[in-house]
Each structure stands twice: as C-alpha cells, then as structure tokens.
Structure 1
C-alpha cells in the first residue's frame, strides 16, 4: 500500500483556478461551453408584507399564464411550469440558434398564515403578482418575550 501525502488546500486551489477561468471567459465575452450547461431556471421572487396581506411577485419571462401551475396553502406558495425559449441571431453570414427547455418548480414559504381561498392573482408582462390576505389572528400579531 502506498502512502500519499494529503494536502488539504489542493482542492481549494483547483476550485479557485476553475472559477478564475469561468470569470475570464465571461469577462471576455466568450461563452464557450457555458451555453451547453444545464442550469435550472429558478424564477426570481420578491415578497413584502402589509398590515392585511402579503404581496408576492414572481418573475417568469417568456411564459404565458396558461404555462403556470400555482398552488397556495396557508403556509406556502408553489409555482411550477415549463420554460420554452428560442434565440436566433444572424451575424456576418452565420446563424446561431439556441433553445432552452425545462420544467421548474419553486416553493416559497410565507412569513404568516394566509387565507388561501381568497388569493388574488394578476399576470402581466411576465410578472405574476399574488395578493395573499393574512389570517385574522396573524394581523398585527405581537408577542411579548420574557427575558427572565
């Protein structure tokens, strides 16, 4: 059996070199193999709270309302759908075409319980906006902390 000297930072150095190469390619505009990697689509979300409701905005560009499945429970919102994207560019006699397909799902936990049967939804310009009314007991709920 051969003994191998363990160098704990070898993997860290290797990872750092890979990250540097990735950033160099991005900075130089050379996407190379980056377009072939399968990074999952995770829609961006923004959530804020008012006295009576929770507002949730989810950005799903390129999708239509019928492409989305939105389910709301008292504690969370689940959004799933399928993304189909096509890009075609012609430049100096060359044609570049890219397709991106894939299903996605995002579950967003809510800070308070909501009345899921009274949710209002609006879908406009690729942005889904949900207004989630809070359960009455959750409105302006203040809890006293005993510092004993």
Structure 2
C-alpha cells in the first residue's frame, strides 16, 4: 500500500471557481432584480417551410394584437411591436423581474421565390403565425427552332 501526502490546497481551484460562479450569479440576478427599465429584447422565432409555404412563428406572450405591425419592403419582412410594462405601485415590492418589456423589431430577408402580396398573418394565444406562399413560377415552354 502506498501513502499519498494530503494537499489541502488541491481542491482550492474548484472551490474558487464555485465561489466566483456564485457571486456572478448573485450580481447578475440582482441587476435584474433592481431594474425597472425597459430592455431590448427579441422574440423567439421559428421559420420553416410546409406545404409549399414559408411559415414564421413568433412567440409574443403578453402583447396585444394592436401593438404588433408586420410590413414588407424591398424583400424584407419586418415585425415590430411593444410589450408594455405593468404599472407598479408604491405598495408593491418587486423581488425579481425577468420578463422583458419595451419595443422589439425583427427583420428577415424573403426569398425571391415567395409572393409578398399574398402574406397572411394570425395572432392567437400569444403566437404570431405568418404564412408566406411561394410565388407561382411560370411553366417552362418549348421553343420552336426556325
């Protein structure tokens, strides 16, 4: 059997990294805890193709339909909106504020193979669902050689 000398400082780096992580977590959360200002945020979006249509789904919980705009210009689909902060009162103590408030804007380049004139949008249960049909491509034709 071999004797191994005990080194009390061998675990120091791991303890040190745990303490650093704990302080980092504390201070980053406290910044959120004390902040009442609107933050820049960006809604999460899924984009996929289904049944010959491009589909964009954006999670917009807590936003009203009237606070969302969708536009298309020069082949760019733009989503804009605002999540309004809840009013606070003097008798309310906030311990944690993780939800983001304020304005957002997302922009996506459309494929030239889509038809921006036939875009449809629906807002239901906090999810914006945009359907962008593919443009009808002219059928090929045979050219007669003279």
TM-score range, shorter chain: 0.5 to 0.7
Aligned-residue offset at 1:113? 3.2
Counterpart residue number, 1:82 = 82
Counterpart in the other structure of 1:110: 110
Aligned Cα root-mean-square deviation (Å): 3.3
**Superposition deviation, residue 34 in structure 1:** 2.1
1:125 maps to: 125
TM-score, normalised to structure 1's length? Answer: 0.61
Give the superposition deviation at 1:101.
4.2
Query: How many residue pairs are counted as aligned between the two chains?
Result: 112
State whether structure 2 residue 62 is matched by structure 1 residue 65.
Answer: no
CA spacing shift, 1:112–1:46, aligned 2, 3 Å? farther
CA contact (8 A) 2:70 2:78 kept: yes
Q: 1:96 aligns with which of 80, 93, 98?
A: 93
Higher strand share: 1
Show CA shifts across 1:14-51 (max 9, x none): xx9xx8343x328xxx8312242764110110010125
* 1:37-56 matches, cutoff 5 A: 39-56=39-56
Unaligned runs of at least 5 residues, structure 1: 1-15, 89-93, 139-148
Q: Distance in 2 between the 1:46 and 1:114 partners?
A: 17
For normalisation by structure 2, the TM-score amounts to 0.61
2:62 and 2:133 map into 1 onto residues whose CA distance is: 28
Distance (whole Å) between structure 1 residues aligned to residue 40 and residue 30 of structure 2: 18
Going from structure 1 to structure 2, the CA distance change for 1:59 and 1:100 (only over 3 Å counts) comes to: closer
Asked if the contact 2:41/2:101 (under 8 Å) is kept, the reply is no
Q: Is the 8 A contact 1:84 1:100 kept in 2?
A: no
- Paired with 1:103 and 1:72, the residues of 2 have a C-alpha distance of 19
- Gaps in structure 2 of 5+ consecutive residues: 1-16, 139-146
Runs of 4+ with deviation above 6 angstroms = none
SS of equivalent to 1:114: coil
